[in-house]
Amino acid sequence: MAYTEEELKKELETKEYEYGFYTDIESDTFPVGLNEEIVIAISKKKEEPEWMTQWRLEAFKAWKQMEEPEWANVKYKKPDFQAISYYSAPNSKPKYNSLDEVDPELLDTFKRLGISLDEQKKLAGVAVDIVMDSVSVATTFKKTLAEKGIIFCSISEAIKEHPELVKKYIGTVVPQKDNFYAALNSAVFSDGSFCYIPKGVRCPMELSTYFRINQAGTGQFERTLVIADEGSYVSYLEGCTAPSRDENQLHAAVVELIALDDAEIKYSTVQNWFPGDKEGKGGVFNFVTKRGICHKNSKISWTQVETGSAVTWKYPSCILKGDNSIGEFYSIAVTNNYQQADTGTKMIHLGKNTRSTIISKGISAGKSQNSYRGLVQVNSRAENARNFSQCDSLLMGNECGAHTFPYIEVKNKTAQIEHEATTSKIGEDQIFYCNQRGIDTEKAIALIVNGFSKEVLNKLPMEFAVEAQKLLEISLEGSVG
Amino acid sequence: MLKISNLHAGIEDNEILKGIDLEVKAGEVHAIMGPNGSGKSTLASVIAGKEEYEITAGSVVLEGEDLEDASPEERAHKGIFLSFQYPVEIPGVSVTNFMKTAINEGRKAKGLEDMPAKDMLKMIREKAELLEIDRKFLSRSLNEGFSGGEKKRNEIFQMAMLEPKLAILDETDSGLDIDALRIVANGVNKLKSKDNAVIVITHYQRLLDYIVPDFVHVLHQGKIVKSGTKELAHELEEKGYDWIKQETAV
């Protein structure tokens, strides 16, 4: 054979991480370590009001008393929290009115990421609030949004411009003391996005944020707050890539969604943090707390495509507080080489006639471990709650693992809970079948994986679905054998 | 078109094909018959380039080019098509999407652009009609939940779409009722031309009433022990394979 499977594998393994590059932009970085002074300094640096500083300090006090959780099905060397710098911002400060004013090097980075703002602007009316190492450097489409009364800005800006909204909602879904990483985030969050959709407004475009870690050795602590007021609708997209790096990078974000009566929030994520090299060296630790609360007749839908990170710990959840509210979770989690993912969701049914749907697709390749962990909880007053869960696992090769940990707690006898699970393997027969039709092995795997993930990919907004399909292909390269 | 010389091949030290000689010219239909375990499907897999089979001696040459170093997909790009005895399921991938991918990968290998969607749709419509395939069928997941007959019809549909030079039909008649057999055979006959060739692998003479072969070969214990015209197939049907076994034992 001209091209044996072994050769193919080797060639693919030598491919560098596509987005593994580092942008040399002058940065303003804090000394390493964490204490009260650092927390206060972050708050001061961001010109925050006193209440915010106090809020951070409360979180920090709580965090000091907490222990890093160990229950997840992942193994890793715990980060040294005193060896991290908690603040890093690109120096090119003033905000830009046009792209011409932006640092060319930064623009080049965007280009390499395939997200040139020019293109983005033209693309189906997507407004992009780009978080480059913590500080927003570009915000577009603000005017159009402002006409509808929609606020879409960085959280720092929101704290200054809309303190009443931030104060009212921050920490209401994910309290400061919720968990170890949420507490840490609450104390030191550097920036993130804020979005408010007024009553009865349907956001006319997909809101999109690209996150990116860029400064060597800085943790990234993003804070996102999305509020959909009564009867409003918003579709929010979050996507990220990160540069290649030897040491582990910690990412501990908090996302809070609030869907007031009759509102709908659709939150989609494509996550592609650096997963480490093929020996499992380096890579991002992604310990994220994402949670939404649904008031009466409202709906929150989480869709995620997780392909990156060395270690992922993430459970986008819905608290179905209001009667007739709906929670959805659609997930594709891909692990390759030495990646580990422990991801899933929690659906907490509190209101009457609440419904939830969970579709989880786990794909494991290489020596990776992929776990689904999901909780469906029906409280005593949640009459007629409904849940449907489906967890499918796809294995490639003989050295990876797929695990499912479903938790079901039902305290109301009118509840109806369904759980389905399957495990399958990509067979040599499937690959040969594709080969025989002229489709090479790499393309064949992409085809099979995309087929397996179709139900979730279909939930993504069009332009994101295309990107997600490409990501699936990239992250499974070299997994044949 | 295809020239197989003294082909020895097997799997993990177990030699299954023990010296096959076969020449197929453009425009010809060859039938390969033989009892279970005689090596018919192995021969099909070796021609298609399945990697678990090792060629220990001899050669497979397509249009003057030795295929030894060609991967299965390269062979497909050169015009070899195998209709599988047991087509595999690919959940979530529609027949249309699968065909679109296969055709465009083939075009890419030839340095051509993707086929325009309009042309693709037109082709799909024509070929589906040829095989009396319901359009709804084309949006279903590949082979998932297909009946035996649907799977085989889908194989021939793919053959029609890919327009191969050499098509190998491995037990395409198994699992087909008489109506499906007629439709499949009709499809194959319509696709036949002076520029392509077909190898039909079958147990039974039945299919050969519909797809009439120019030559019939009997495979037994990894060798072609008898070759002839379509009369040979009738003779086999009458006398059974024991006749061949006895004859070769002598």
Q: Which residues, 6+ apart, have CB-to-CB distance to B139 below 8 Å?
A: B94, B95, B96
Chain B positions in Cβ-Cβ contact with residue A452 (cut-off 8 Å): 91-92
Q: What is the pLDDT of residue A56?
A: 96
The DSSP-derived string for B177-210 is -HHHHHHHHHHHHHH--TT-EEEEEESSSGGGGT
Structure ipTM: 0.96
- Whether residue B73 has pLDDT greater than 90: yes
Which A-chain residues 350-369 have CB contacts (< 8 A) with chain B?
A: none
Chain B CB within 8 Å of residue A1 CB? yes
pLDDT digits (tens, 9 = 90+) for B97-130: 999 999 999 999 999 999 998 999 999 999 999 8
The Cα-based distances of B125 to A205, B128, B136, B155 in angstroms read 37, 5, 11, 16
Q: What is the pLDDT of residue A110?
A: 52
Compute the distance between CA of residue A109 and CA of residue A202 in angstroms, rounded to an integer. Answer: 33
Task: Give percent of chain B above pLDDT 70.
Answer: 100
Q: What is the pLDDT of residue A479?
A: 67
| CA–CA min distance A222, chain B (Å) | 35
- Whether residue B172 has pLDDT greater than 70: yes
Report strand pairing: B14-24 vs B2-11: antiparallel
Q: Which residues, 6+ apart, have CB-to-CB distance to A39 below 8 Å?
A: A53, A56, A57, A60, A187, A188
Mean pLDDT of B182-187: 91
| Helix intervals (H) in A258-355 | none
Compute the distance between CA of residue B189 and CA of residue B75 in angstroms, rounded to an integer. Answer: 23
DSSP state of A399: S
Q: What is the pLDDT of residue A101?
A: 57
- A10: how many CB neighbours lie within 10 A of its CB? 12
* Torsion of the alpha carbons at A98, A99, A105 and A110, rounded to the nearest 10: 130
| CA–CA min distance B186, chain A (Å) | 22
Chain B CB within 8 Å of residue A422 CB? no
Query: What's the half-sphere exposure (Cβ side, CA atoms, 13 Å) at B2?
Result: 32
DSSP state of B12: T
Question: Which chain B residue lies closest to A5 (C-alpha atoms)?
Answer: B51
Strand partners, A136: A131
| CA–CA min distance B69, chain A (Å) | 4
Compute the distance between CA of residue A268 and CA of residue B15 in angstroms, rounded to an integer. Answer: 55
SS3 A277: coil
- Whether residue B190 has pLDDT greater than 70: yes
Structural domains of chain B, with CATH:
2-249 (3.40.50.300)
pLDDT digits (tens, 9 = 90+) for A98-150: 556 555 655 554 555 554 454 433 332 344 455 544 344 344 566 678 889 99
Verify whether the Cβ–Cβ distance B70 to A1 is below 8 Å.
yes
| Local confidence pLDDT in tens for the 481 residues of chain A | 344 445 544 443 433 344 444 444 445 677 778 888 889 988 988 889 999 999 999 999 999 999 888 888 888 888 888 887 787 665 433 344 555 655 565 555 455 555 445 443 333 234 445 554 434 434 456 667 888 999 988 888 899 999 999 999 999 999 999 999 999 999 999 888 899 999 999 998 888 764 434 443 345 788 999 999 999 999 998 875 544 454 557 888 999 999 999 999 999 988 777 777 777 777 888 899 999 999 999 999 999 988 878 889 999 999 999 999 999 999 999 888 888 999 999 999 999 999 999 999 999 988 999 999 999 999 999 999 999 999 999 998 888 999 999 999 999 999 999 999 999 999 889 999 999 999 999 899 989 999 999 999 888 887 677 777 777 777 776 666 4
pLDDT digits (tens, 9 = 90+) for A401-459: 999 999 999 999 999 999 999 999 998 899 999 999 999 998 999 899 999 999 998 88
Chain B positions in Cβ-Cβ contact with residue A433 (cut-off 8 Å): 84, 87-88, 90
Task: Give percent of chain B above pLDDT 90.
Answer: 79
Report strand pairing: A299-306 vs A355-364: unpaired
Compute the distance between CA of residue B52 and CA of residue A428 in angstroms, rounded to an integer. Answer: 10
The residue of B11, B103, B105, B154 whose CB has the most chain A CBs within 10 angstroms, and thus the best one to mutate to test that interface, is B105
Residue B175 pLDDT level (bands cut at 50, 70, 90):
confident
Q: Could you identify the residue written with the tokens 């679905």?
A: A465
Tell which residue, A466, A477, A471, A475, has the closest CA to residue A443: A477
Verify whether the Cβ–Cβ distance A435 to B102 is below 8 Å.
no
Compute the distance between CA of residue A127 and CA of residue A151 in angstroms, rounded to an integer. Answer: 12
- Whether residue B29 has pLDDT greater than 80: yes
Q: And the tokens for A310? A: 């060395």
Report strand pairing: B223-228 vs B215-220: antiparallel
Q: Could you identify the residue written with the tokens 């489906």?
A: A390
| CA–CA min distance A470, chain B (Å) | 15
Compute the distance between CA of residue A295 and CA of residue A321 in angstroms, rounded to an integer. Answer: 6
Strand partners, A465: none
The residue of B52, B83, B93, B165 whose CB has the most chain A CBs within 10 angstroms, and thus the best one to mutate to test that interface, is B93
Q: Which amino acid is at A225?
A: L
Q: What is the pLDDT of residue A98?
A: 56
